[in-house]
């Protein structure tokens, strides 16, 4: 069995203490309620002291004893009466105090009620004032809104009227513009027809003139090409003949004779090769549209002993790029001059790198 724990001293007195405190609180509460509810008492009546005297004759000792007892009883009654009077007075004072407190409470409650009523009335008056102001503001806003709506309607009607007026004016202006445009178009058609007829006549005349000029230019070009080709063939044949004759002369004689002939004909051979280079370049030259008489371009030419052209650059420009480029292309198109094969190193040395001047006239042989 489990051993039960014995309560401590504090635990043993806890609940009795609680009950005692509760009982005292209840008693004080009842006393307070009884004092508050005690009615006003009538004024106290004077105490009538009565002494009972025994009329029968007694002995002196008994009489003294009785007098003594009566005196003590009288004193005791007097003390009791005094205590009762004090209690009565205390009760009356408490009753008076309770009545005054009750009056004060009632007055305070009345004051508070009055203040509450005044506050309530003030609140109600404030609410009524605010409601009135809100109603006035609402009426003002509605009036303003109505006025604005009316103003907007009037503006809308005015805008519609203005727009209608503008549209009618615009329509009238468009009609006038269409009418004027139609008249202008009619005039322009007549003028364009006259102008076109004049232009067609001029074009026909220009075409006939151009046709004639083209025919004449074709004839001139054909004659120039024929003359150029004939001149080129003659120059090439002359150069080849000269070179062949010079080589034959050099090869046919003795070394001493060949040296003498070479010295005598050095300038002649050099001039012949210059003419040969110009003639071969002219064969492959494409004349640019910008080429004009009097243009001069100096070309730097490089060659090998077998007559192969290795490089062609512009040493001094003519001032016209297309003509310079056409001259460079014409010399490069030579490729190789077989006539230069077999030349002595001393004769070829000037042609390893040399300069030549070209003009449109030189290339148009």
Question: Is it the case that residue 205 has pLDDT exceeding 60?
Answer: yes
Residues 208-220: tens digit of each pLDDT? 887 777 777 767 7
Task: Report the share of the chain in percent with pLDDT over 70.
Answer: 75
Distance CA 93, CA 240 (A): 174
Higher pLDDT, 65 or 168: 168
Within 13 Å and on the Cβ side, how many CA atoms surround 30? 5
Average pLDDT along the chain: 79
CB-neighbour burial class of residue 328 (10 A; exposed 0-12, middle 13-18, buried 19+): buried
In which region does residue 211 sit, left (phi positive, over 0), alpha (psi from -120 to 50) or beta (all else)?
Answer: alpha
Distance CA 331, CA 299 (A): 9
Among all chains, which residue has been given the structure tokens 């002219």? 282
Residue 299 three-state SS:
strand
pLDDT at residue 253, rounded to an integer: 45
Distance CA 191, CA 195 (A): 6
Among all chains, which residue has been given the structure tokens 């030579």? 334
**List of residues 6+ apart from 364 with CB closer than 8 A:** 228, 282, 285, 287
Residue 271 CA to chain centroid, in angstroms?
A: 80
Which band of pLDDT confidence, cut at 50, 70 and 90, is reported for residue 247?
low
> Of 365, 38, 132, whose CA–CA distance to 229 is shortest?
365
Distance CA 208, CA 93 (A): 156
Q: What is the CA radius of gyration of the chain?
A: 79
pLDDT at residue 348, rounded to an integer: 85
Which band of pLDDT confidence, cut at 50, 70 and 90, is reported for residue 265?
very low
Max mean pLDDT range (24-28, 40-44, 167-171, 262-266): 167-171
Higher pLDDT, 33 or 351: 351
Residue 365 three-state SS:
coil
Question: Is it the case that residue 53 has pLDDT exceeding 50?
Answer: no
Question: Is it the case that residue 177 has pLDDT exceeding 70?
Answer: yes
Question: Is it the case that residue 224 has pLDDT exceeding 70?
Answer: no
Find the length of the chain. Answer: 365
pLDDT at residue 57, rounded to an integer: 47
Architecture in CATH of 222-363: 2-Layer Sandwich (3.30)
> Of 331, 298, 300, 327, whose CA–CA distance to 313 is shortest?
300
**Mean pLDDT computed over 358-363:** 85
Question: Is it the case that residue 251 has pLDDT exceeding 80?
Answer: no
Question: Is it the case that residue 196 has pLDDT exceeding 80?
Answer: yes
Give yes or no for a contact between 305 and 364, defined as CB atoms under 8 angstroms apart. Answer: no
Question: Is it the case that residue 263 has pLDDT exceeding 60?
Answer: no
**Mean pLDDT computed over 260-282:** 66
pLDDT at residue 3, rounded to an integer: 56
Distance CA 144, CA 142 (A): 5
Distance CA 347, CA 265 (A): 11
Higher pLDDT, 261 or 337: 337
**Mean pLDDT computed over 148-152:** 91
CB-neighbour burial class of residue 70 (10 A; exposed 0-12, middle 13-18, buried 19+): middle
Read off the pTM. Answer: 0.31
DSSP E strand boundaries for 209-285: none
Give yes or no for a contact between 281 and 324, defined as CB atoms under 8 angstroms apart. Answer: no
Which band of pLDDT confidence, cut at 50, 70 and 90, is reported for residue 261?
very low
Among all chains, which residue has been given the structure tokens 């907007």? 152
Which band of pLDDT confidence, cut at 50, 70 and 90, is reported for residue 330?
very high
Question: Is it the case that residue 246 has pLDDT exceeding 90?
Answer: no
């Amino acid at each position: 069995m489990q051993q039960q724990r014995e309560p401590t001293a504090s635990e043993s007195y806890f609940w009795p203490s609680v009950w005692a405190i509760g009982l005292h609180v209840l008693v004080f509460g009842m006393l307070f309620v009884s004092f508050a509810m005690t009615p006003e008492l009538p004024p106290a009546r004077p105490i009538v002291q009565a002494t009972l005297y025994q009329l029968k004759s007694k002995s002196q000792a008994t009489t003294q004893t009785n007098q003594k007892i009566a005196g003590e009883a009288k004193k005791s009654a007097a003390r009791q009466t005094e205590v009762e009077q004090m209690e009565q007075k205390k009760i009356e004072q408490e009753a008076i105090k309770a009545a005054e407190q009750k009056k004060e409470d009632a007055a305070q409650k009345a004051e508070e009620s009055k203040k509450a009523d005044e506050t309530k009335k003030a609140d109600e008056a404030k609410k009524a004032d605010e409601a009135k102001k809100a109603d006035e503001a609402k009426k003002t806003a509605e009036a303003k809104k109505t006025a604005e709506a009316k103003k907007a309607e009037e503006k809308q009607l005015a805008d519609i009227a203005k727009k209608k007026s503008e549209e009618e004016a615009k329509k009238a202006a468009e009609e006038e513009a269409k009418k004027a445009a139609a008249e202008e178009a009619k005039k322009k058609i007549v003028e364009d027809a006259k102008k076109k007829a004049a232009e067609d006549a001029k074009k026909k005349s220009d075409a006939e003139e151009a046709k004639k000029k083209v025919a004449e230019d074709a004839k001139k070009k054909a004659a120039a090409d024929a003359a150029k080709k004939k001149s080129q063939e003659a120059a090439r044949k002359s150069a080849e003949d000269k070179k062949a004759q010079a080589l034959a002369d050099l090869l046919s004689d003795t070394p001493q004779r060949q040296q003498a002939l070479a010295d005598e004909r050095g300038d002649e051979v050099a001039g012949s090769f210059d003419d040969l280079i110009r003639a071969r370049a002219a064969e492959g030259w494409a004349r640019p549209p910008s080429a004009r008489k009097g243009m001069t371009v100096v070309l730097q030419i490089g060659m090998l002993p077998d007559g192969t052209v290795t490089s062609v650059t512009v040493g001094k420009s003519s001032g016209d790029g297309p003509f310079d480029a056409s001259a460079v292309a014409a010399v490069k198109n030579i490729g190789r001059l077989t006539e230069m094969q077999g030349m002595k190193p001393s004769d070829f040395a000037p042609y390893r790198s040399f300069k030549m001047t070209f003009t449109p006239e030189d290339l148009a042989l």
